[in-house]
Amino acid sequence: MDYFAYRNGLLHCEAVAVADIASAVGTPVYIYSAATLLHHYRAVEKAFVALKPTICFSIKSLSNIHILRLLAEAGSGFDVVSGGELTRAQAAGADCSRIVYAGVGKTDMEIRQAIAAGIGLFNVESEEEFENLSRLAGSSSRCVRAALRVNPDIDPKTHRHTSTGKKETKFGVDIERAVRFFHAYGHDANVRLDALHIHIGSPIYSPAPYVEAIGKILDLIESLQRDSFSIRTLDIGGGFAADYEERRAPASADYAAAIVPLLAGRNLEIILEPGRQIAANAAILLATVQYVKRGGERNFVIVDAAMTDLIRPALYDAEHFVYPASVPDDQAPQRKLDWTPPDAVKVDIVGGVCESSDFLAKDRLLPPLARGDLLAVFTAGAYGFVMSSQYNSRPRAAEVLVEGDRWRTIRRREIYDDLLGPERDV
């Protein structure tokens, strides 16, 4: 289902022409489709229904509280990695018992905050962290549950910056040490340790690494059972891919077809932590062409969005489709990187930041563009706005949520006071 589509040559988000939003709030602006988010959330729910999983949307992928509220109302739990994300989940009305908390560097303050909130599960990543959690839990009257995050040493075959399940990464505890970990901490007085967690990377374009990792985890569960430790919950993390390029990502149903048979009937509560698969295709980043210029060797389209708004191309060589928001009616772009409009010009789409890594797309065939034209960067919903910065003292973009034929601003554009405020308040 595509909720971003051209009608009479004009790009729409659901029933709203994106140019109308640009006229009202300016650019750059992130435009989210509520229907797309909910559609993807429901697709995960439906695909995995046989396991009745707890779906914990990964807040790091998209953290606007208005969007978290939509997902909470749809029944989602949340995966958090900081006190800030927990605060966002609470502000969105989340059920804290359906919050899982991962991360290798939880501070005492964050742990205390999460204990007080009554979160469902601490995904513990080291021996020292467990001991610290136990100490802090001991001084509270709350019941605390933990999962051991295991590093299964699996290659998820994704970008090296987003690969997390290999031995050499900082995440989790080596699978070889897991049994020893349970012997040391499995009978702790303050923390109930009866769950396992894995998250092997993101995006993972095949179910195969999950099958391999879950196989290792099921063997581990058997070893633990032989030693009288029973595992109630298995959190298999996130990492399901989204369609950045030509629909080559598996759908939720494809991952489920491989994963569900491994876990069905085992009396395990299953947790999923999808972020990107729900959020990525739910937004575009809309920018305005500032200048078109011929460089020494390349043609540049310079827009008012930059790596400060969407860093994925600079950081991961990520490819996002970029199309004009207005095209002749019979030339609506297909989701293809090699879309060839008449009179196409090969261009790099870049921002105004003083870095050569500041690009949104390279070598794209686009129709001739001029100052003032609107360009939409697709699949920008996950790890888009959340990774934005104020580098070069650029205020962050606005965020808008579309629901049918209505839209509203869910984060105002930052102003210069947002840049200077924390320096003045000292």
Query: Within its chain, how far is the Cα of 59 from the centroid?
Result: 7
Sort strands 398-403 and 374-377 into parallel, antiparallel or unpaired: unpaired
In the shown chain, the binding pattern of residues 120 to 149 toward ligand LLP, with x for contact by CB under 6 A and - for none, equals: ------------------------------
312 makes contact with ligand LLP (CB under 6 A): yes
Q: What angle do CA 328, 401, 310 make, to 5 degrees?
A: 75
DSSP 252: H
How many residues bind ligand LLP, per CB under 6 A? Answer: 22
d(CA 403, CA 13): 9
**Which member of 22, 196, 382, 397 binds ligand LLP (CB under 6 A)?**
382
Comparing CB distances to ligand LLP, the nearer of 55 and 402 is 55
At closest approach, how far in Å is the CB of 162 from ligand LLP?
A: 5
* Non-local CB neighbours of 425 within 8 Å, separated by 6+ positions: none
Of 73, 68, 111, the closest CA to residue 91 belongs to: 68
CA 326 to CA 372: how far, in whole Å?
Answer: 12
Q: What's the CA gap between 44 and 328, in Å, rounded?
A: 36
Under rule CB under 6 A, which residues in 322-381 are in contact with ligand LLP?
none
Amino acid at 268: L
The C-alpha atoms of residue 286 and residue 158 are separated, in whole angstroms, by 27
Among 194, 273, 358, 373, binds ligand LLP (CB under 6 A): 273
Q: List, in sequence order, every residue forming a beta bridge with 33; answer none if it has no partner.
A: 402
72/318 with CB nearer ligand LLP: 318
Verify binding: residue 61, ligand LLP, rule CB under 6 A: yes
List 56, 96, 143, 354, catalytic entry: 354
Place of tokens 């020494």: 296
Using only C-alpha atoms, the chain has a radius of gyration, in whole angstroms, of 23
Selected range binding ligand LLP among 39-47, 58-66, 259-267, 405-413, rule: CB under 6 A: 58-66
Minimum CB distance to ligand LLP smaller for 60 or for 364: 60
CA 248 from centroid of its chain's CA atoms: 18
Of the two residues 22 and 311, which places its CB atom closer to ligand LLP in the complex?
Answer: 311
Q: How far, in Å, CA of 319 to CA of 378, rounded? A: 10
Binding track over 72-101 against ligand LLP, x by CB under 6 A: -------x----------------------
Nearest approach, Cβ of residue 392 and ligand LLP (Å): 21
Least distance in angstroms from the C-beta of 6 to ligand LLP: 26
Cα distances from 25 to residues 240, 286, 407, in angstroms, run 33, 11, 11
Site residues (CB under 6 A) for ligand LLP, limited to 160-219: 162, 199, 202-203
- 102 counts as binding ligand LLP under rule CB under 6 A: yes
For 85-97, b/e burial (b = at least 16 CB within 10 A) is bbebbbebebebe
The region of 12-20, 186-194, 232-240, 322-330 touching ligand LLP under the rule CB under 6 A is 232-240
Distance CA(221)–CA(276), nearest Å, equals: 28
The binder of ligand LLP chosen from 229, 383, 385, 407 (CB under 6 A): 383
- Residue nearer to ligand LLP on the CB measure, 237 or 324: 237
Active site residue 354: yes
User: Which residues are within 8 A (CB) of 241 and not within 5 positions of it... i.e. 6 or more apart?
Assistant: 203, 204, 205, 249, 250, 276, 277
State the helix-helix crossing angle for 34-47 and 252-263, rounded to 10 degrees.
Answer: 30
Q: Which is nearer to ligand LLP, 195 or 327 (CB)?
A: 195
388 binds ligand LLP (CB under 6 A): no
Q: Which stretch binds ligand LLP (CB under 6 A): 39-47, 53-61, 262-270, 326-334?
A: 53-61
30 touches ligand LLP by CB under 6 A: no
The catalytic site residues sit at: 354
* Residues contributing to the site for ligand LLP (CB under 6 A): 58, 60-61, 79, 102, 162, 199, 202-203, 237-240, 273-277, 312, 316, 382-383
